[in-house]
Amino acid sequence: MRAMANWHHAVAHIDADSFYASCEAVRHPELKGRPICVLSNQNAFVVAKSYDAKALGIKTVMSVHDAKKLAPHAAYLPPDFQFYGQISAKMFSILRRYSPQIEVYSIDECFMDMNGIRTLWRKSYRQIADDIRESVKREIGITVSVGIANTKTLAKIASESNKPNGTSIVPGKHIGRFLAGIPIRDIPGIGHSRAALLCKFDIRTAQDFANTKESLVKRLLGRLGLTLWHELNGQPVLPLEVKPPLPKSVARTASMGEITTDRTTITAHLSRHTLRLVSELVAKKLLARRLRIFLTCKSFEAASIEIHMDFPTNSLKKVSAAVKQAFLTLYREGEVYRGCGVIATHISRQESATEDLFGLMHEDVRQQRLMLTVNDINQQHGNHTVAPAAARLMQKPQARPARFQYPVFMAR
Ligand SMILES: [Mg+2]
């Protein structure tokens, strides 16, 4: 293993300990001292368990029947993913205080960019990791484990190696020693079959793997193997993905709450969907390249049309025009309709767009600013305070009326 500076690069992996069971323990203090098992949706299997339940031999995906034989006194609770999501959001908001650069990896774990963070807090990595654990414990009541190392893979192995409620710091100089105690199958990404293959070559610990010749690693495990090999040797290859993944689509669809043949009513609903869709795209800085517009008939049969935009866009003007064009093609006089919707697909990020492509996107930028203002007003004064004129023509407004009546907003 090559000699290297201790902290040429630093990343933390923060992982809550038996998260679902810990969330349940937070809201059921009366269960203190009892093992906790969280069950699957149909209450058939154990999907998560506390450490004391694990100590009794209960495993994830064990049937409730078998688990109860091992631990009749444990608490068996149905899952409440909404609640776990709320605790998760609270946890990430605490973590963002320490470093804004966070890759949310799952509901209960993340990677955190630690470069420059010691200077910011005037503390060692160990002190920062301990602070993080204490803040989460004090403010939410659950414990997390923290690993800090040169790369994401090392940080993840580090946090895993000292659970629950532990801090594990691996400076560059100590990587070799640290990896010597890690069996090969504990490297994230190395499954059973890969571990078995490596064992044939006498590669049994993570340290053996890191010391293996690059060419052999490539021969045995290909590109994935090389990535892991670099990461285990303290050379960061996997970047921090701080942005949330792009959605496949953004949709605004609904039944109209009535069946109608009335062109104006349907247009009003479509206008409202369009405004809300564009509002979301602009707020999330996303662009759409295609739009699917559909009308659902009384028989639940749907007719739809896909429109390819010339450029990725989130301009209300352009999206409205496309929706209008589609509506004119789809709408049939005399047909009874019950629902409609607009779905944006082929989503990309605003920042990755070739801005000002021949000046064609100039107008879009103006539209974005307008939309952001509309969003602000609607957030402060209630949804639909500002809405396109056509949406005002709906016969039965779905939302409660706004507190103030602002001038009707026209998208020109
Ligand atoms: Mg966890």
Express each pLDDT in 239-269 by its tens digit: 998 877 788 899 998 888 889 999 999 999 9
> Percent of the chain beyond pLDDT 90?
71
How many whole angstroms from 19 Cα to the centroid of ligand 1?
Answer: 6
- End-to-end, the C-alpha distance of the chain in Å comes to 64
Query: Among 22-31, 350-359, 398-407, which range has the highest average pLDDT?
Result: 22-31
Residue 36 has a pLDDT of 97
How many whole angstroms from 145 Cα to the centroid of ligand 1?
Answer: 8
The answer, yes or no, to whether residue 125 has pLDDT greater than 80, is yes
- The single-letter DSSP state of residue 389 is G
The answer, yes or no, to whether residue 144 has pLDDT greater than 80, is yes
- The active-site residue, picked from 103, 109, 231, 280, is 109
Residue 72 has a pLDDT of 95
Please tell us whether the domain made up of 11-15+87-232 is placed in CATH 3.30.70.270: yes
Per-residue pLDDT averaged across 301-310, rounded? 91
Would you identify the CATH topology of the domain 249-393?
Answer: Dna Ligase; domain 1 (3.30.1490)
Residue 40 has a pLDDT of 87
| Residues lying with their CB under 5 A of ligand 1, a single-atom ion | 15-16, 19, 108
Per-residue pLDDT averaged across 313-338, rounded? 94
For residue 374, what pLDDT band results from cuts at 50, 70 and 90? Answer: confident
pLDDT digits (tens, 9 = 90+) for 176-202: 999 999 999 999 989 889 999 999 999
The answer, yes or no, to whether residue 276 has pLDDT greater than 60, is yes
Q: Rounded to the nearest 10 degrees, how much is the dihedral formed by the CA atoms of 21, 24, 30, 31?
A: -20
How many whole angstroms from 81 Cα to the centroid of ligand 1?
Answer: 15
Residue 397 has a pLDDT of 46
Residues spanned by CATH 3.30.70.270 within the chain? 11-15+87-232
For residue 131, what pLDDT band results from cuts at 50, 70 and 90? Answer: very high
Residue 359 has a pLDDT of 58
Residues spanned by CATH 3.30.1490.100 within the chain? 249-393
The answer, yes or no, to whether residue 327 has pLDDT greater than 60, is yes
How many whole angstroms from 14 Cα to the centroid of ligand 1?
Answer: 8
Per-residue pLDDT averaged across 321-341, rounded? 94
Residue 44 has a pLDDT of 85
Residue 27 has a pLDDT of 95
How many whole angstroms from 114 Cα to the centroid of ligand 1?
Answer: 20
Residue, of 195 and 403, whose pLDDT is higher: 195
How many whole angstroms from 110 Cα to the centroid of ligand 1?
Answer: 10
Q: Which CATH number fits domain 16-83: 3.40.50.10470, 1.25.40.10, 3.30.465.10, 3.40.1170.60?
A: 3.40.1170.60
Residues spanned by CATH 3.40.1170.60 within the chain? 16-83
> HSE of 290 in the Cβ direction (CA atoms, 13 Å)?
10
For residue 392, what pLDDT band results from cuts at 50, 70 and 90? Answer: low
pTM of structure: 0.65
Residues linked to residue 344 through DSSP beta bridges, in sequence order? 250, 291
How many other C-beta atoms are found inside a 10 Å radius of the C-beta of residue 182? 20
Find tokens 């959605």 and name the residue: 247
Per-residue pLDDT averaged across 49-64, rounded? 93
Residue 403 has a pLDDT of 43
Is 362 strand, coil or helix? Answer: helix
The answer, yes or no, to whether residue 310 has pLDDT greater than 80, is yes
Kind and range of the H or E element at 364? helix 362-381
Catalytic, 109? Answer: yes
- What is the distance between the alpha carbons of residues 410 and 191, in angstroms, rounded to a whole number? 58
Residue 175 has a pLDDT of 97
Assess contact for 287 and 339: CB atoms under 8 A: no
Residue 4 has a pLDDT of 66
How many whole angstroms from 6 Cα to the centroid of ligand 1?
Answer: 27
